[in-house]
Structure 1
Amino acid sequence: MSPGKYNFIFFYLLTFLLFFSCHKKEKTYIETIALNDVQLPKVKPGDWRYSRDEQFQTFEDFQKLNKIRPESGKNTIYLQPIGAFSELQKKEIKLTKEYLSMYFQLETKVLPALPNSVFPKTARRIFKEGQEQILAGYVLDSILLKRKPKDAVAVMGITEKDLFPRPEWNYVFGQASYIDAVGVTSLYRFSNGDLSESNFNESLERLIKISSHEIGHMFGLSHCLNANCVMNGTNTLTETDFHFARACSLCQQKLNSSILYDHKKRLADLKHFFEKQHLNSELSRAEKDLNLLK
């Protein structure tokens, strides 16, 4: 072989190696936004994680679950208000419907409100602070499940009454069934008293967090131990407020594997919602994620 041919082969191989050494593999959406995940702080007494030994749910664990998925003719999220709501509370529920449609990228509807008379005496108790509480499990099994629309992928009840999960517990912010895809939350504690214009956004942010958290459970997501995330477990409103409305990269990966939405459209929709409602901390987080995609 002539020296010229050797030189040509050497030049070709060198060019080939240089091209692939400089051409890095493009990051996926999940890998990209993982840069904005915020590590969970060290657990302290009173935190949800302090008294619970929960297992880390990997993406592989999630994939093995027999979980609900949207399908043709069964792809709508429904909100079921139960109780007598003020005009501000009705506005809060309407905005939560808008938010959930953006968060899950699924059509979301509000059903006509049911009266408090649907709760029998056996599902009620008077708590030590004087307020009436409703047994959350009764709402799931005897109200929501029995009234679940045929095209519902998930149903989320919203009541103005306080909730309790079982006799030994003081209260619960929300509860959901993985199997039946029904859940419930209560507005009672979110406004720290009567809902007003001054505390509206605080209450709204708590409601969208708990609602998306409980519906996330319906889609098979366990409590998140990966990062600060809407799927973190919560014991108190302080803990709820500390957790982001943003799902971490791992929880987004899980959710998207079932719903198959467009990541960038979802982020843009959420950014618009946060901007419109002046939820500035969440707006900043959505903008940071979008900036990574540019």
Structure 2
Amino acid sequence: MKKKARKKEEASIPFVRGFRRPTPLKCARALGYEKETPPKEYDVGENFFRPIPDPKSIDDWLAQYNEEGQTYDDFLDENPWLSSRKRRGLKQKFNSAGKTIRETFPEGKIYLLPLGDFSVEPSPRFDLLIDYAEKFFQIPVRSLPAVELKQSGANAYRWVDDDEQPPLAKKRRQSARLQDVQCRIDKNSGHVQLNVDGVLKKLKGILPKDALCLIALTMFDLYDDEPDLFVAGMAGGLSRVAVFSFHRYDPTLAFSSEFWYDLWQEKRMPMKERKRLILQRSCKLLVHEAAHLLGVDHCIFYDCCMNGSGHLDEDFQQSMHLCPVDLRKLAHLCGFDVVQRYEELLLFFDRNRLADEATWVRRRLAFLNDTP
């Protein structure tokens, strides 16, 4: 009886005041094909794209925030990467006649930076994160040399520069070196959290000239303000830098809802399965946040990897795939062929034992290619 009552209570959690689940007509308008049949690559089909789910917790994103949603037309109007004027601060080659980000910024790349050690299990393999992001966006993704962090005080970590880092103006490099990354360390457990503001300031100082954006990825836990339990990360969108942590993506760990430093190993799991889940969760976070830096807002139209999430459980339950609305946005921005992109993603999912994702893509390709 208790279980049934709990399920009933969860099912009755309302959307935040003012929010209504989009109707099929509103979703069609968001896709930009209200009065015509969309091309097959953006056809919803059957059982591919579920409606955005009801909140299951008062902490779910749409139980807290009333988002209007970004339509395809909104994306075209708002996206600075599609402007014929060069974006402020960009020093790379610019083609004002370009129709896609690759044509407009032919040297442009997404850069990823390993912040700390990714060689310790169960960290996700960094080369796989690069591979997935490149297949997802179909634009070049490169890694900067890993940055080592060493404790330099009771509440600070020193950013150890690598000689292979991109050259900077002398004043900028000196300024970056003088800024230690603030942290908080629990004396009893030894648990460390880095402050995101300090990391973002450091990233601004090493942003490569040909970068569309630079994202630092870390296994360190992160926080923003003192009351925070943690933050998954933070982006400085106008400065094109971001930092995100995979620390709490380990499926064997449990975390306190009161104390930031209180975490423990809740269960055991074979290392292969543990690493597979961490990789899946990490890949989804990476492309979600990179898409934000490329101008894609949260999705309210379908169950989609661009949905907002208010907590880790909600994040883990969300789809790894783009809905038709956001797929069309990125296809326009990056200029990719939808079928080819799915084929490359399928190879990634198969090679890395992401069976559910591979099954979905295989079904989608069969639908697009009209094969049984």
User: Could you say whether these structures have the same fold, taking a TM-score greater than 0.5 normalized by the shorter chain as the test?
Assistant: yes
Query: Once the 2 structures are TM-superposed, how far is the Cα of residue 130 of structure 1 from its aligned partner?
Result: 5.4
1:165 equivalenced with 2:224 (yes/no): yes
Supply the AA of the counterpart residue of 1:222: D
| Secondary structure class of the residue paired with 1:80 | strand
Q: Identify the residue that residue 288 of structure 1 maps to in structure 2.
A: 363
Q: Which has the larger radius of gyration?
A: 1
Q: Identify the residue that residue 147 of structure 2 maps to in structure 1.
A: 114
Supply the AA of the counterpart residue of 1:151: D
Q: Identify the residue that residue 55 of structure 2 maps to in structure 1.
A: 43
Q: Identify the residue that residue 246 of structure 2 maps to in structure 1.
A: 187
| Secondary structure class of the residue paired with 1:147 | coil
Q: Identify the residue that residue 138 of structure 1 maps to in structure 2.
A: 198
The separation in 1 between residues aligned to 2:366 and 2:115, in whole angstroms, is: 40
Supply the AA of the counterpart residue of 1:183: A
CA pair 122-274 structure 1, distance change in 2 beyond 3 A: closer
Supply the AA of the counterpart residue of 2:349: F
**Unmatched runs of 5 consecutive residues or more in structure 1:** 1-24
Query: Once the 2 structures are TM-superposed, how far is the Cα of residue 67 of structure 1 from its aligned partner?
Result: 2.5
CA pair 216-271 structure 1, distance change in 2 beyond 3 A: same
The question of whether the paired residues in 2 share the 8 Å contact of 1:165 and 1:171 is answered with yes
Higher helix share: 1
Q: Identify the residue that residue 70 of structure 2 maps to in structure 1.
A: 57
Query: Once the 2 structures are TM-superposed, how far is the Cα of residue 98 of structure 1 from its aligned partner?
Result: 0.5
1:218 equivalenced with 2:259 (yes/no): no
What is the Cα-based RMSD across aligned positions, in Å?
2.4
Which stretch of structure 1 is more off in the superposition, 187-196 or 32-41?
Answer: 187-196
Count how many residue pairs are aligned between Structure 1 and Structure 2: 269
The separation in 2 between residues aligned to 1:89 and 1:156, in whole angstroms, is: 21
| Secondary structure class of the residue paired with 2:330 | helix
Q: Identify the residue that residue 284 of structure 2 maps to in structure 1.
A: 209
The list of structure 1 runs, each at least 4 consecutive aligned residues, that deviate by more than 6 angstroms after superposition, is none
| Secondary structure class of the residue paired with 2:113 | strand
1:74 equivalenced with 2:134 (yes/no): no
Query: Once the 2 structures are TM-superposed, how far is the Cα of residue 234 of structure 1 from its aligned partner?
Result: 1.7
| Secondary structure class of the residue paired with 1:198 | helix
**Unmatched runs of 5 consecutive residues or more in structure 2:** 1-35, 82-100, 150-157, 161-178, 254-264
The separation in 1 between residues aligned to 2:180 and 2:141, in whole angstroms, is: 31
Supply the AA of the counterpart residue of 2:114: P
Question: Can you list the C-alpha shifts for 1:61-103, whole angstroms capped at 9, x where unaligned?
Answer: 1111143334334321111011123254665211111100100
User: What percent of counterpart residues are identical?
Assistant: 27
The separation in 2 between residues aligned to 1:266 and 1:61, in whole angstroms, is: 24
Which stretch of structure 1 is more off in the superposition, 143-152 or 79-88?
Answer: 79-88
Question: Can you list the C-alpha shifts for 1:111-166, whole angstroms capped at 9, x where unaligned?
Answer: 111111229666212369752111223322x1222111111112111112111133
TM-score by length of structure 2 reads 0.67
